[in-house]
Every structure is written in C-alpha cells, then in structure tokens.
A and B are shown apart, each in its own frame.
Chain A
Amino acid sequence: MPYPPELKELIKVVEQTRSERVGRKEHDIEVPFMSLEERGQILKYHPDYNEDGKRALRVGPNKGYRIAHEFADVLEAASRVDPDKIDLTKPAYETDLLVIGAGGAGTSAALIASERGAKVLMTTKLRHGDANTMMAEGGIQAATQHHKDSPYYHYLDVMGGGHFTNTPELVETLVTKAPSAIKWLEELGTNFSKDTDGTLMTIHGGGTSRKRMHSAADITGAEIMRTLRDEARNRPGTITVLEFRPAVELVLDAEGRCAGAVLYNLETEEYFLVKAKAVVIATGGSGRLHIQKFMTTNHYGATADGIVMAYRAGVEVCFLHTVQYHPTGVIFPEQAEGILITEKFRGAGAHILNVKGEQFVNEREPRDVEASALIREVHRGLGVPTPTGKFGIWLDSPMIDQMVGPGTVEKEFPGKFILYKRFGIDISKEPMLIYPTLHYQNGGLKIDKTTKTSLPGLYVAGEAAGGIHGENRLMGNSLLDIVVFGRIAGEHAAAYAKALGETKAPLQLDHVRRYNKEVLETKAGEGRIAPMLLPDYTLAQVKDRQLTSHYHGTLR
C-alpha cells in the first residue's frame, strides 16, 4: 500500500524539518546519549517491566522463576509423545554428533565438528538455513580495527548493553574470538562489504563506542547463512542434513548422558530415534510465541523447541525474563507488519522522529532503551496514526540520500528498497513508519564458555543459549554469537564424542515420564503439549468447520 493522503500530509511535516536536521547531522550535533540513570527511568516503558505479562514457573529446574506467560505455557506442558510407544532399541540413525537446528549456529558447529573427524547428522524443522540467521540484516560486530578498537572496548559495550548482568566468561569468549570468526567467514568466501584494498567497511550500531559493525550490504545474515550452507553441502561425506524433521525430545542413556533425540517427520508424521554420542542444540529463538502479543521479526519456526526439550532433561534456563524488542519494525504497510528495518539505517544517519517531525532520542541507544523511548513517545500522544488505528514513529531514510548522495539508499539497502517498492513506497524519498517489534530471545539455556550444559553430552549454541548478552543484546552481536559459539560447540562436542567412544548404555526417556507426571500432578500443564513446532494462524471459524481434523498442540 502506498501512503494514503493523511500520511502524505504528515510526511510534509517531516520534510519541513529535514534540511535543518541534515545540517545538524553533518556537524555531528546529536540528541545527547542518556545517562545510566536516565536509561533506568525510560526502561519502565519496556514490555519486560510489565509484571502482569509474567508468572512464576511451577515445574522444572527453575521453579519459581518469573517469565512471560507465553514462555511458561511451553515449559509447563507435557510431551508430544508417549515414551512407552518409542522403541529405544532401534535407532533409525546412529551418529557421532547430532546437531538440532540448521541455522547459523548449527551449521557452524557441523562444519567444525566435521573438520575434527566427527560424523555429523544435522536435523532441522524446516529447510537448511530457514532460521533467524537468514533474516539478520545489519551486521556482525568484531573489533578488527586495531588503531582505534579492541576486544577491551567491545567487552565494555557488550556489558553496558546488557545492564552489566552478562556472564563475564561468555562475554570474554565472544569478544576475543570475534576477529577469528570474521576471518573464518572471510576465508569461506563470505562477500563482506570491503574497500578495494580489502579493508572491511564498518559502521556504528546502538551502544557501540567504536565503529565495528561489518556487513554484506543489508543482507549480512543471508550472505553468511548461504555461505555456511554451501560449505556444509560440499561435505556430504561427513555432514548429513535432514529437513522437515524437528527434534521433539532429547534421549538420555542409563548413565545420565545425553545420547540422541526423538525426531518427528512433519510430512509423513512418523517419529523416529537418533542415537548420538553428543548433541548440540542450536534451535534458535522464540519470536513466534508472540510474547505479550507483539508482532515479530522472527522466522516461522522460532518456537523455543530446544529450550523446552532441554528444560525437561533438567537444564536450567537464565535471562528468559527479558525479551528484546527491536526498535524499528514495519507498522505500515500492514502486509509487511513486524518485518525488521535494520539498525544500519540509523547507523547511516537516518533520524527517528515523532509526528511533529522532531527528534526525541539519540538514534544509537541500546535497543531496549531505544524501543522504550519510542513506546513512550506514543504514550505521550506524539505517535504517527496509521490507517488501521495503530501508532508508529518515522524513520527518516531520505536524509541518507540527501547527505551521502542520490542512490545511496537503493545501493546500501537493496533488500528494503525492493520490499517497499512493491508496496508503492520509495524509501529514498519517503520516510518509513516503524514501531518496536519482538525480535530476540535474550535468555536461554545455561552454558559455560565451552557451550557445555549441566547435562553431559549436551551443548548449546546461538539464540537458544543465555548469558552472553545479559538482559539486552546489542546489534551485530547475535550473528557474532552464532558463529563464535557455534564453532566452539562443534569443537567441544566433537572432542567429547571422540573421548566417549562407543557405549553400550541403554537409551531411555525416563526424564520425559517424570516431567509429564510433574506437569500432571501440579496441574501446571492444563492440557498443553510442547514443543510447539509451528505457530497456529488458522482462524477460529475455519477450525470450527474442520470437523475431522485434530490439533496436536498447534500442529494440525
């Protein structure tokens, strides 16, 4: 949908203030950054601070921990399968390493493990590469410019962004392994944006003290994902990939080690067993749980499956009480609702504006602070009304062309330029209407710096893990996280599998029986089953007429 006449009128207000604002920008005159105290004040507008949106968990290792109802709903739920119906003596596959999830973290783990001599089976719910990695746009952080930056500054930025709650050893690992992760990607042939002499182009992101955001135009995640995927496909001898086969339960052995998983074929509806010496969970995030009913930037399959499975097997979660809302998601046109507008627009100079065409927050505050400021502006009655009765905020992309030269927006942001063009909006001439959108699971399963969990043989990497970003992640640190910790998981899980060797310990699903019983006895489950696998967008009226269909959780 092109902008209707009412919005075109409001765009004129933005245009009126533009030349003056461009003048300020060119002289580096910005809205001052907030002090830590001011951040504390504005964060009261953040959805994480809405206590009505949360409840205390009644089952599992984190009993009593308050997290969003939508998370609690999938954790306080029974298994999809009756453990008695699974024949644990007949695995359909046997492998050294089972990787659950084939996004950036899973594929990185598979590649490194295969280099360490492990036979890898990687299984995924949808297609290889169908993951939030593919959708990450803005970039990947790493301190690579040693004349002005180092892991020291990166460390401080990460900690400050996470409100100093992050797990120090995970941050240390993230920032010191960052440059070698970029170098690995460069050697694999990732098309990073570079100067002609090979210097990596870098820009700022929210909360960075030095420009250290590397990118591949505005499709950095897609470029990284398709490169990693191509490399995995070049190694059919050591890496086998199963698609449309999500894992639904972990399998343990009689000695309490993680020893495989039960997979479900979404198309043939069969369940079958994989026996493995070690398991990596790289199942990603949970935007499709629509925490507090927010729209989301996330992939169709982002339903926290890995967290559900590991929690049942006794692995603790951490930092799940915080969820990241990306400050800039599309709110108009409706068809693109929730879609991410990369922070890189702000890094490149685009202003955030209220309905009066005025700036009200520095464009590079950490994401939770930025999102809270936008939400408060709407609370103050200074939001931009959409035709469907919602309120948004302007992101003034045309000023980038005005400052850097005509054609810059189209060249630097080809993905978004095409997206809006389809709706009849030229973002090099008209601003974008945005609002915070559910973006990232800050927390997850508890790991140490080798990605090991409390369950022997189980490793976790990527968005499914917690602690690296504390209570809030900075832009460009999730692509970094998946590559750094994906590689570490591959290395350590492969070494563990090799050291373990062949075992005769019988497989079992007793932990699932115990958990089912706990859910039943505490009445916490209320008939729910998990993992969710796919969200349900079927209309109630349609369901009412599907007389012979049944829904297994949200899956038809």
Chain B
Amino acid sequence: MNESTLKTPMIKMIPIFIMGQKYEVPAELTIMKAMEYAGYKFIRGCGCRGGICGACSTVYRKPGDYKIHTGLACQTVIEPEMYLTQLPFYPALKATYDVSTMQGIATEIFEAYPELFRCVACNACTKVCPMDVKVMDYIAYLKRGDIEAAARASFDCIQCGLCASRCMGELPQYHIAQMARRLWGAKLTPRAQHLAEMVLKIEQGLFGELIAKLETTDTAELKKLYNAREMEPAMSRNEWKPSKDNVGLR
C-alpha cells in the first residue's frame, strides 16, 4: 500500500482499484507502471512492455459506466477510480497442421476449426480487441472462404486472447487467424522469383570467391572498397541499377 506520507506534492495522485483494492498512484502512469508502483512484481502479465507481445491484456470498468473496457497494461494510461484485472492467460485450443502439404483452401481451415461456424456474429470479440482488429469481420470472411481478406484484417493481432475470452461461440479466433495468415503467405501469394534466383546463384557458388577474397582483405583496403560503394539513391525505384559499381554483381 502506498500510505499518504509517501505522496510528493509535485505529483498528482489518483485512486485506482487493482482487483478490487484501492491504491493511490501518480496520475500519468500506465496500468503496468501503476501496478509496479503499488508494489506488484510481474512474472505473468508483462512481456515486451511495448504493446506488441500480448502478455498484458487488461479488463476494467469505470464508475457509472456499464461497459467493459479493455487495454494493454503497458499502453493504457490509468483513469481515476478505474477498477481492473489482468488476463495474462486464457485457455484456447490450437489445431495442429502441416502447412507444407496444404493447398490454401478454406475447407482446410474449416476442418481444423469446425467451431468457426458457431460464430453468432455478436461482435463481442471486435469490441474487446485492444488492437482495434475487426475480429468478427475476419471470422465472417473465413466463413465465406476469403482467406486473403481474413489475413489482411487480422494482421495487427497480437494474440492476447481477449477475443476468445468473450466469445459466445467459444472460438479461438486468434489461432484461426494465424492459420489463415500462414496459408495466405505460403500458398496464396506469389513466391518472390528474384529471391529463388538469388538463392540458386549462391548455391551455384557464384559469390564464393568474391567473398572469400573480402574475408582476407586487410582493413585499409576494405575501407577503400567501403568508401567507394555506389549508393542507391533514397528515392530510387526498385529497377535502379548501379552505373559503375558492378564488381559484386553476378
């Protein structure tokens, strides 16, 4: 507990309720820093501290407001009288599959996750998403077989699991979206031709001698080569080619 004797007059303190218990904390902290200020030491419920790993999803309510609010503890600034709990883990079953042997068709997703069709379009998932992902929409895209749309719509998902916690149809939405994105990336977008060609050139040993020579070049000479590099202009298009410095190309 932070007793009143601790308060410095410079900092404005506000009350928040962590799992129902009141703590006075500096007004401008995030939920995560407020909990640490109050004396909590995280093992669960804290990951990247940068809003991308999905470890610190938090559910809270505010006085006089019937709504359930959600946010990431590391990103959400506290509000007076909010009362909150973290939800660092929520059970959700993940199907196992072998992308390399799949075709990238919707029935493969339906087979892995038949519960997909239990969605009743209540939209609770979208409302609860701390990343503003349109969860119900991507589930709808999948129901009509549009993997690309689902992959694009779910791209910002951080797999925190809040959607699954609120789902009336008991879907593990974020696992389903992961499968859609992998099928989209592996099976439905064209492979990069130039990449395959470069891998082949390297396997053929076209750069072996060039690089081996660099490895044994002394620093003074290496610095000369470094300074002489032709720099691709910042605003060039992909087609740009070096005009004089072709020594490393094959």
A176 and B202 contact, Cβ closer than 8 Å, known pairs A25-B235, A150-B249, A155-B214 = yes
Contacts of A153 in B (CB 8 A): 229, 248
Contacts of B231 in A (CB 8 A): 33, 209
Q: Residue-by-residue, is B166-208 near A (CB-CB < 8 Å gives 1, otherwise 0)?
A: 0000000000001101111111011111111111011000010
A183 and B48 contact, Cβ closer than 8 Å, known pairs A419-B75, A422-B75 = no
A234 touches B43 (CB 8 A): no
Tell me the bound Cα distance from A414 to B51 in angstroms. 12
B234 touches A28 (CB 8 A): yes
Q: Chain B's nearest CB lies how many Å from the CB of A148?
A: 5
Contacts of B234 in A (CB 8 A): 25, 28, 30, 204, 349, 364
Tell me the bound Cα distance from A339 to B33 in angstroms. 14
> A134-166: which residues lie under 8 A (CB-CB) from chain B?
134-135, 143-153, 155-157, 159-160, 164
B96 touches A233 (CB 8 A): yes
B249 touches A146 (CB 8 A): yes
A536 touches B156 (CB 8 A): no
Tell me the bound Cα distance from A155 to B210 in angstroms. 10
Whether B28 sits at the interface, judged by CB under 8 Å, is: yes
- Chain A residue, CB-CB nearest to B205: A176
B55 touches A127 (CB 8 A): yes
Q: Chain A's nearest CB lies how many Å from the CB of B73?
A: 11
- Chain B residue, CB-CB nearest to A164: B219
> A1-33: which residues lie under 8 A (CB-CB) from chain B?
1, 25-26, 28, 30, 33
Whether A547 sits at the interface, judged by CB under 8 Å, is: no
- Chain A residue, CB-CB nearest to B214: A155
A148 and B249 contact, Cβ closer than 8 Å, known pairs A164-B222, A222-B158, A300-B47 = yes
A233 touches B94 (CB 8 A): yes
Contacts of A201 in B (CB 8 A): 238
Contacts of B46 in A (CB 8 A): 300
Contacts of A144 in B (CB 8 A): 192, 194-195, 198
> B193-250: which residues lie under 8 A (CB-CB) from chain A?
193-199, 201-202, 207, 210-212, 214-216, 219, 222-223, 225-227, 229-236, 238-242, 247-250
A172 touches B235 (CB 8 A): no
| A130: contacting residue among B48, B198, B214, CB under 8 A | B48
| B192: contacting residue among A149, A169, A199, A423, CB under 8 A | A199
B211 touches A175 (CB 8 A): yes
Tell me the bound Cα distance from A536 to B73 in angstroms. 18
Q: Residue-by-residue, is B92-112 near A (CB-CB < 8 Å gives 1, otherwise 0)?
A: 001011111000000000000
Tell me the bound Cα distance from A266 to B45 in angstroms. 13
A198 touches B156 (CB 8 A): no
Whether A36 sits at the interface, judged by CB under 8 Å, is: yes
Interface of B is mostly: loop
Stretch in contact with the other chain, from B34-42, B61-69, B115-123, B134-142: B34-42
A230 and B178 contact, Cβ closer than 8 Å, known pairs A150-B248, A159-B226, A300-B46 = yes
| A152: contacting residue among B94, B179, B190, B210, CB under 8 A | B210
> A224-266: which residues lie under 8 A (CB-CB) from chain B?
226-227, 230-231, 233-236, 244, 266
Whether A538 sits at the interface, judged by CB under 8 Å, is: yes
| B185: contacting residue among A156, A171, A191, A236, CB under 8 A | A191
Tell me the bound Cα distance from A176 to B187 in angstroms. 26
Contacts of B184 in A (CB 8 A): 189, 191
| A156: contacting residue among B155, B187, B229, CB under 8 A | B229
Q: Looking at chain B, what size class is its interface with the partner chain?
A: 35 or more
Contacts of B159 in A (CB 8 A): 226
A189 touches B52 (CB 8 A): no
Tell me the bound Cα distance from A267 to B247 in angstroms. 57
Residues of A in contact (CB 8 Å), total: 100
Q: Chain B's nearest CB lies how many Å from the CB of A433?
A: 16
Tell me the bound Cα distance from A140 to B88 in angstroms. 30
| A145: contacting residue among B30, B194, B211, CB under 8 A | B194
Contacts of B162 in A (CB 8 A): none
B48 touches A266 (CB 8 A): no
Tell me the bound Cα distance from A364 to B151 in angstroms. 33
Among B184, B191, B194, B212, find the residue whose CB has the most chain A CB atoms closer than 10 A: B194
Tell me the bound Cα distance from A340 to B202 in angstroms. 34
Whether A179 sits at the interface, judged by CB under 8 Å, is: yes
A147 touches B202 (CB 8 A): no
Tell me the bound Cα distance from A266 to B42 in angstroms. 11
Tell me the bound Cα distance from A155 to B55 in angstroms. 37
Q: Chain A's nearest CB lies how many Å from the CB of B111?
A: 15
B53 touches A134 (CB 8 A): yes
Whether B82 sits at the interface, judged by CB under 8 Å, is: no
Q: Chain A's nearest CB lies how many Å from the CB of B242?
A: 6
| B50: contacting residue among A145, A191, A339, CB under 8 A | A339
Q: Chain B's nearest CB lies how many Å from the CB of A319?
A: 16
Whether B85 sits at the interface, judged by CB under 8 Å, is: no
B195 touches A189 (CB 8 A): no
B223 touches A147 (CB 8 A): no
Whether A498 sits at the interface, judged by CB under 8 Å, is: no
Tell me the bound Cα distance from A537 to B74 in angstroms. 14
Tell me the bound Cα distance from A171 to B211 in angstroms. 10
A556 and B131 contact, Cβ closer than 8 Å, known pairs A126-B47, A135-B50 = no
Contacts of B22 in A (CB 8 A): none
- Chain B residue, CB-CB nearest to A177: B202
B52 touches A134 (CB 8 A): yes
Contacts of A169 in B (CB 8 A): 215
Q: Chain B's nearest CB lies how many Å from the CB of A196?
A: 8
B207 touches A186 (CB 8 A): no
Q: Chain A's nearest CB lies how many Å from the CB of B86?
A: 14
Tell me the bound Cα distance from A217 to B185 in angstroms. 14
A130 touches B185 (CB 8 A): no
Whether A299 sits at the interface, judged by CB under 8 Å, is: yes
A183 and B196 contact, Cβ closer than 8 Å, known pairs A145-B238, A300-B46, A541-B6 = yes
**Can you spell out 25 A-B residue pairs with CB atoms less than 8 angstroms apart?**
A1-B28, A1-B77, A26-B235, A126-B47, A135-B53, A146-B197, A148-B240, A152-B210, A172-B211, A180-B199, A183-B195, A189-B99, A197-B193, A198-B193, A204-B234, A209-B230, A217-B155, A219-B156, A222-B53, A226-B159, A415-B52, A418-B131, A534-B42, A537-B36, A538-B41
> Known contacts A150-B207, A164-B219; can you find 6 more A-B pairs with CB under 8 A?
A152-B248, A172-B214, A180-B202, A192-B185, A231-B99, A364-B234
Among all A-B residue pairs, the 10 with the closest Cβ atoms: A152-B248, A198-B190, A189-B186, A189-B182, A189-B185, A168-B215, A209-B229, A160-B226, A542-B39, A191-B185
